[in-house]
Chains A and B, each alone.
Chain A
Amino acid sequence: MQVLYGRHHVRVFRFGLRLVRDEQVAEDLISEVFLDVWRQAGKFEGRSAVSTWLLAITRFKALSALRRRKDVELDDEAANAIEDSSDDPEVAVQKKDISEALRECLTELSPEHREIVDLVYYHEKSVEEVAEIVGIPENTVKTRLFYARKKLAELLKAAGIERGWP
């Protein structure tokens, strides 16, 4: 268990943190995730990679944690409203270079766009694996990421940064 924890806990933590945006909650999440793994290892049937299984459990627990928090609603509108309380991208990126602006705008995406971007780019999950983790059809995975990228481009454009796409 220590080895499994050692190998995966940082990525599980980061995935959870990007979803719940609270370090304490994210730390509680990883304890819950690995405890579930400890309890349910017998149910792991090996149809998917271990990390995919862990991320799916993490996502489920993160969403449950968000539901428990009265101050955070799951719908994008409310989530975006909370995000809007942070730096306005237009202001935040004025003095920064494109890389910093990109990172700033990545944090401004809606939760469902954030998770798909992270799963594909950072956690290096295939279309099939993302579909399994998020629980949506493979075609939806592809289109959702496409529109997440379009939204990212719009945020950057609003911040005065044109990258030539779309």
Chain B
Amino acid sequence: MMAASKKMPEQEPGELEMLLPWHAAGTLNARDARRVEEALARDPELAKQYAVIREEYAETIHLNESLGAPSVRAMTKLFAAIDAEPARKPGASLNFSARMAGLFARLSPRTLAWSASLGAVALLLQAGVIGTVLMKDQNSTFQTASLSTNEPITRTLGPEGPPRALVRFTPDARVADITALLDHYEASIVDGAKGGMFRLQFGNRPMNRDEVAALLGKLQHEKIVNLAVATP
């Protein structure tokens, strides 16, 4: 009954024993997961080893999460390199777009679920923002993309509008933190969480390239911001 577990250090590991780490990570197929569950239920030694694996799993995640994120330099370098690439032919471009679309279509269910969750959070956030605007009095300094208490309600149709950026917040960012950030940057959400990114608009005047770069650099260093990239 306990053939799956390893009794002596010199023995070769059993098949199910070797699958335990994947069981801890939730990446086994249904059949193997069921086999491992059954083995764990009947073999205390295997269950003991599984508890050890769960610790390793948790600490590996902790360790990797503590590594932080790359600086804006990496992204700047990448997009500069892409800008320097030769222009693509229309046919090739279409093919590339189709490939990229296919590429996104193959995102893992977990990633898609994560994006969907963020979408739901975005809807709640939008509702919160609208509610806040409606509830605040005239002294409020908060502005939305379409409503300003100091200026006529008009839109600039030309290309020289206020700067916008795609921003992804950290998973642990609270709504209160995001609201405070929006307030601080005089920013408003102009589009929901597509692919986990919010489209934000900053202030109500155009900025030059240096100002936009400085703004994005500052944003990127915010604790609750994972990524900020300029967007039309």
Contacts and interface: CB of A to CB of B under 8 A. Distances in A.
Contacts of A107: 63
B81 A145 contact: no
Interface in A109-166: 117-118, 120-122, 124-127, 142-143, 145-146, 149-150, 152-153, 163-166
A103 B62 contact: yes
A56 interface: no
Contacts of A10: 69-70, 226
Contacts of B149: none
A5 B57 CA distance: 26
Contacts of A44: 99, 102-103
Nearest to A34: B78
B82 interface: yes
Contact of A166 (B6, B99, B102, B111): B6
Interface string B14-35: 0001110110111110000000
Interface stretch (B134-142, B175-183, B194-202): B194-202
B84 to A, nearest CB: 10
Interface residues of B, number: 63
A42 B95 CA distance: 7
B78 A126 contact: no
A27 to B, nearest CB: 4
Interface stretch (B47-55, B124-132, B204-212): B47-55
A120 B103 contact: no
Contacts, number: 164
B108 interface: yes
B100 interface: yes
B92 interface: yes
B155 interface: no
Contact of A2 (B27, B55, B166): B166
B220 to A, nearest CB: 12
B157 interface: no
Contacts of A35: 78, 81-82
Given A9-B75, A145-B18, A121 B24 contact: yes
Contacts of A125: 27
B60 A106 contact: yes
A166 B59 contact: no
Contacts of A146: 13, 17-18
A18 B66 CA distance: 11
Interface in A27-42: 27-28, 30-31, 34-35, 38-39, 41-42
A114 to B, nearest CB: 10
Nearest to B28: A126
A46 B102 contact: yes
A42 to B, nearest CB: 5
A62 interface: no
Nearest to B6: A166
Given A1-B82, A102-B55, A164-B48, A9 B227 contact: yes
Interface string B101-124: 011101110110000000000000
A133 to B, nearest CB: 13
A49 B22 contact: no
A85 interface: no
Nearest to B29: A126
A98 to B, nearest CB: 7
Nearest to B231: A2
Q: Give the residue among B75, B78, B92, B110 with the most A Cβ atoms within 10 A.
A: B78
Contacts of B69: 9-10, 13
A27 B70 contact: yes
A145 B21 contact: yes
Closest 6 CB pairs of A and B: A121-B60, A142-B18, A27-B74, A102-B59, A3-B195, A31-B78
